[in-house]
Amino acid sequence: TDLKGFVERGYPSQVFDVVELFYGRFQSENQAGFQRELNSIFGEEESEWRMIDGQLFKIDSQFLEMHVVARSYELLKAEGYEGALDELNQARNELSSGNIKGAIHNACKSVESVLKAVTETDSGSASHLIRQLNEIGFYDGLPEDVARAFGEEVLMILPFMRNRLGGHGQGIAVIDVPRLYGELAVHLAATFILFIVRRSTEILPRRSEAVDYADEPVPDVPF
């Protein structure tokens, strides 16, 4: 049969296998566009399935928490934030291995890397980077009093967690950080990254022109 007939009459698991193989056959710069389009279609159809890093997952109660993380991954790849992507991945790996303090530390680092890229600043503390957002018009549209306080009251949550739980000296008592706080840090990092990158694309020129994966010749059906 042809591809259309295979998709319409094949077993869903086989169709998903082929979709994942198609992802792997595209050039790396076009994979993100393919994945975004596929996930957009799943969303329009109110399907629980999503593609994450080329693999299809059912976003049920077990995978629901991955949704924001997955969207952040897509944006980081599409916009070229390789350093932040690596640190967010390290945070997830540390969380999986039980190193909760390491997860908190790397989660905060990933947000700081995004802030450095957005503000075009090579160094500086988290508070300094967050203040720099004012200079690029990041908070334009908010009431002045809200804009002044937004960074300090909202975006400083992760630096606070890192300084008190994951990064600096603990004082006399050793702090045993429960896993739930590591999960919170990773999810907050993903949420903040999603917000910062999306907001930056609204107010700043794109870091690179998006490549339309549809212009690439479709690879042969791998079956």
Could you identify the residue written with the tokens 């390491």? 102
From 209, 184, 202, 193, select the one nearest 84 (Cα to Cα): 193
Mean pLDDT of 69-95: 77
Mean pLDDT of 130-157: 86
What six digits make up the tokens of 34? 């393919």
Q: Is 51 helix (H, G, I), strand (E, B) or coil?
A: strand
Predicted confidence at residue 221, as pLDDT, reads 46
On average, the pLDDT of the chain sits at: 79
Q: Which residue has better confidence, 206 or 112?
A: 112
CA distance 125 to 176: 26
Mean pLDDT of 56-75: 61
Phi-psi region of 188 (alpha: psi -120 to 50; beta: other; left: phi over 0): alpha
CA 105, distance to chain mean position in Å, is: 16
DSSP 52-82: ETTEEEE-STTTTTHHHHHHHHHHHHHHT-H
Taking only the tens place, the pLDDT of each residue in 16-44 is 999 999 898 888 788 888 888 988 888 88
Residue 13, CA atoms < 13 Å, CB-side half-sphere: 0
Provide the 10 A C-beta neighbour count for residue 39: 21
Predicted confidence at residue 69, as pLDDT, reads 67
Residue 57 has pLDDT above 70, yes or no: yes
Residue 104 has pLDDT above 90, yes or no: yes
Q: Bridge partners of 58? A: 49
Could you tell me where the beta strands, DSSP code E, fall in the chain? Answer: 49-52, 55-58
Is-contact 121 130, C-beta < 8 A? no
Whole-prediction pTM value?
Answer: 0.59
CA distance 12 to 9: 9
